[in-house]
Structure 1
Amino acid sequence: MRHTLPIAPQFYVTAPQPCPYLAGRMERKLFTALQTDNAEKLNDTLSKQGFRRSQNVLYRPACSECTACLSARIRVADFEPSRSQKRIARRNAGLERRVNSPWATDDQYALFRSYLDSRHSDGGMADMDIYEFAAMIEETPIRSRVVEYMEDRKLSGVSLTDVLDDGLSMVYSFFDPDLEKRSLGTYLILDHVEIAREAGLPYVYLGYWVPGSPKMGYKSRFGALEIFRGGRWEELTDPDNFASDAHPLAVDPIAEQVARIQLPDSRPAKG
């Protein structure tokens, strides 16, 4: 009888390019492809180690002189909304939530374009056309959902959300920029906490919190927030204690980073 050994994921590093969050910095990512036959287990395992999914790739910042990007997640059981967050929830109580399979629509793309043009016109997604948008939504080898928020039959917000074994991962979300006073970005997170609570899932993964970045600073306003630092999750007690200062010795060599990655079957990763 022939036995085939599973192939360990290969890890690679992107070339340096300008950081989208902190001016004057260069970013670099450590990434691996999501293997089809082991995609869900790999995604579950690496998400617990600070990785994020983008279509068929898992990545984590590996900048040569900066460790500002910190993966963040909300601990659902201990989360209590602040007074302002309670007001935001009441303000958006009329929104209807719809959970669908990962399928892109013209309405989603129109909202996505409006959101980018208003808030991220200089970002990496600014030139994304409808085909690239469809790929972002639909090219997923794992259990993903599109969570839509409607009001008066009009699409107001969308989140592409992965269902992990220990929580929900908000891969990418966008909303109607004309409703800025409604704080829809915050509301989408609050609602995902409720979805996770109802499903008995312990965490909501928010992506990266970046101290010093106005684009990413809002994440620290959520209670029961944990960040992944130094190979473990820890409570974010005081955001002001974290600096975005760069240091030439801040990042371990790539080979050491890869060697510490835990894979689903406990085999060492390969760089």
Structure 2
Amino acid sequence: MRHTLPLAPQFYVTAPQPCPYLEGRMERKLFTALQGEQAEDLNDALSKQGFRRSQNVLYRPSCSDCNACLSARIRVADFVPSKSQKRTEKKNEHLSRRTRAPWATEEQYDLFRHYLDDRHADGGMADMDVFEFAAMIEETPIKSRVIEYSARSEDGKTRDLAAVCLTDVLDDGLSMVYSFYDPARRADSLGTFVILDHIRLAKEAGLPYVYLGYWVPGSPKMAYKSKFSALEVYTGGQWTDLGDPEEFDSRPHPLSSDPIAEQVAQIDLPGARPVRGKD
């Protein structure tokens, strides 16, 4: 199925498939290609409307009877770490950060495989080989960086890779496309630490937001995101404070989603007159 806007990118909808977050539900995605001279402008504009990037595709959940998946971002200026998050920063202060161009390495892939085998052995990425991993890292038409976190080895002579994050640089923030870490360091809360460091990076760069991907009420996999203060979610066509996460209802409703054609018509594209207001 295809829907288009005049002189605009073409939007498509995937076929329904089992939802990876909420058992017993089906998901589908609205997506468009990310290519050409306007790729960065399109990525910036659609990221502010709940879309996420995967290689050269931008997508957003568009389920027929469920709208539980909510794009989430942290307001950098208002973020205040919790006591637990401060302990996580202290625990990982020995890690060194290295920012690289989006180029895949064998060391990254080895860590990626260990992470998947331990945390997501039955997930959709479980069978990803080294070539698909390289495509995930390297196929980006916009400004992206690979941020590595390393610890000194026991002999003190080398550095062991502890965590990696593929990060897009938007005009208003940092978008954490995908991160993974050493499962043997689970007690160090590396996933939380990488987010905290991205908040620090965004603040240093004068960028107001850190985009975390989707938060799904009712999904244990996504519960950690609601523990960050100054969190906003994109719902009803605008960004709003998360507030109490318990107040969000993940139960499906047959009238919860607009028809696809209406969803496409409401998208604000770069260079076009806005259709609906944003923050």
Q: Does structure 1 residue 196 correspond to structure 2 residue 197? A: no
Deviation at 1:217, TM superposition (A): 1.1
RMSD: 1.1
How does the TM-score come out when normalised to structure 1? 0.96
Distance in 2 between residues matched to 1:268 and 1:87, nearest whole Å: 43
Equivalent residue number for residue 18 of structure 2: 18
Shift of 1:36: 1.7
Q: Could you tell which deviates more after superposition, 75-84 or 6-15?
A: 6-15
Contact 1:8–1:267 under 8 Å retained in 2: no
Distance 1:156 1:146 in 2: 13
Measure, in 1, the Cα distance between the counterparts of 2:87 and 2:186. 14
Distance 1:7 1:108 in 2: 40
Could you give the per-residue CA deviations for residues 11-30 of structure 1, whole angstroms, max 9, x where no partner exists? 00000000000000000000
Cα distance, 1:267 vs structure 2:
5.9
Structure 2, gaps ≥5 residues long: 1-5, 153-158
Q: Output the amino acid matched with 2:22.
A: L
8 Å CA contact 1:160, 1:171 repeated in 2 = yes
- Structure-to-structure mapping, 1:61-140, within 5 angstroms: 61-140=61-140
Q: What is residue 255 of structure 1 aligned with on the other side? A: 261
Corresponding residue for residue 49 of structure 1: 49
Q: Aligned partner of 2:215: which letter?
A: W
Structure 2 counterpart of 1:237: 243
Q: Distance in 1 between matches of 2:261 and 2:55?
A: 25
Structure 2 match to 1:141: 141
Q: Which consecutive segments of 4 or more residues in structure 1 shift more than 6 A?
A: none
1:109-132 per-residue CA deviation (whole Å, 9 max, x = no partner) reads 000000000000111000000000
- Asked whether the equivalents of residues 12 and 31 of structure 1 are also in contact (C-alpha less than 8 Å), the reply is yes
TM-score (norm 2): 0.93
String of CA shifts for 1:119-146, please: whole Å, max 9, x gaps.
0011100000000000000000000000
Q: Is the aligned partner of 1:220 residue 2:251? A: no
Can you give the 5+ residue segments of structure 1 that lack an aligned partner in the other structure? 1-5
Q: In structure 1, how many angstroms separate the alpha carbons of the residues matched to 2:46 and 2:106?
A: 32
1:207-255 Cα offsets, whole Å, 9 max, x none, are: 0000011111110000000000000000011000002101111111001
Structure 2: how far apart are the matches of 1:171 and 1:95? Answer: 21
Q: Is the 8 A contact 1:259 1:268 kept in 2?
A: no
Give the letter aligned to residue 214 of structure 2: Y
Residue aligned with 1:11, SS = strand
Offset, 1:201:
0.2
**Which residue identity lines up with residue 245 of structure 1 in the other structure?**
R
1:35 Cα offset (Å): 2.3
Identity of counterpart residues, as a percentage?
A: 72
